[in-house]
Amino acid sequence: MKKQLLMGVAALCAMGLSAGAWAADAATADEVVAKVKEAAAAVKAGADVTLSEFDKKDGKWAWKDTYVWVLDCTNGVVKAHPNEKVKGMKLADLKDKATDKEIGTALCNAAKMAKGGWVEYMWTKPGAEGNHRKVAYVLSAGNYAVSAGVYDDKLTAKDLEAKSMK
C-alpha cells in the first residue's frame, strides 16, 4: 500500500514538474512588449538589413512559443514572418482562424497608437495543433509595424494596454 501511495505521489510530482516546464515555454506579455520594442528600434535603425532576420524560425526574434513579425501597412503586406506561407501575404487576407474576420486593419490601426496597441484573434501556435487565442502587441517602426503575441485564453487586449505604457 505504501509503495502504491509513493508511486502515486511521484507521478503527481512528475506531472506538476512537466506542467511547470510547459508553462516556462510560454512567452509572457512583458517579454512580448520588450521584444517588440527592441525589434522596432532595430527596424528603424536599418530595416533593409534587419527584415530577413525576422524570417528565421530559430533566430533572435523567435523565442519560446512566439515570434516577432513585420507588417508593411502602407503597401498592405506581411513584410517578414518565420512562416513562409504568411510572409508576403496581403494584410487583407490575414483572418482570425475562428471567425474568418480580417485582422490586418486592426493590427495596423493598433500600431498607429502612440504606445502601440493590442489585438486579439485566433491563430496557429508554433508546435501545437489547432488554433489558439493570441493577443498581439503591435508597434510602429518607421515605415513598418512590428508585432509579437502571447497565446493565452484569459488575457484580453484591455488587460494588456498597461503593458505597453511602461
- DSSP code string of 133-158: EEEEEEEEETTEEEEEEEE-SS--HH
Q: Could you tell me which residue, 16 or 37, shows the higher pLDDT?
A: 37
Q: How confident is the model at residue 55 (pLDDT cuts 50, 70, 90)?
A: very high
Tell me the C-alpha distance between 79 and 71, whole Å. 5
- Say which amino acid occupies 56: K
| Mean pLDDT across 77-86 | 96
Q: What is the pLDDT of residues 116-162, one digit of tens each?
A: 999 999 999 888 899 999 999 999 999 999 999 999 988 888 888 86
Q: In terms of Cα–Cα distance, which of 60, 49, 32 is closest to 152?
A: 32
Q: C-alpha distances in angstroms, 147 versus 5, 40, 117, 138, 139?
A: 49, 9, 10, 4, 6
Average of per-residue pLDDT values in the chain: 85
Burial 12-21 (b: 16+ CB within 10 A, else e): eeeeeeeeee
Residue 24: the pLDDT is 54
- pTM value is 0.81
| Mean pLDDT across 31-59 | 91
Task: Provide the 3-class DSSP secondary structure of residue 123.
Answer: strand
Q: Quote the distance between the C-alpha of residue 127 and its chain's center.
A: 13
- Say which amino acid occupies 11: A
**Domains present along the chain, CATH in parentheses:** 29-165 (3.30.450.20)
| Mean pLDDT across 79-100 | 96
For 153, residues 6+ apart whose C-beta sits below 8 A from its C-beta are 133
Q: For residue 46, give the C-alpha cell.
A: 536599418
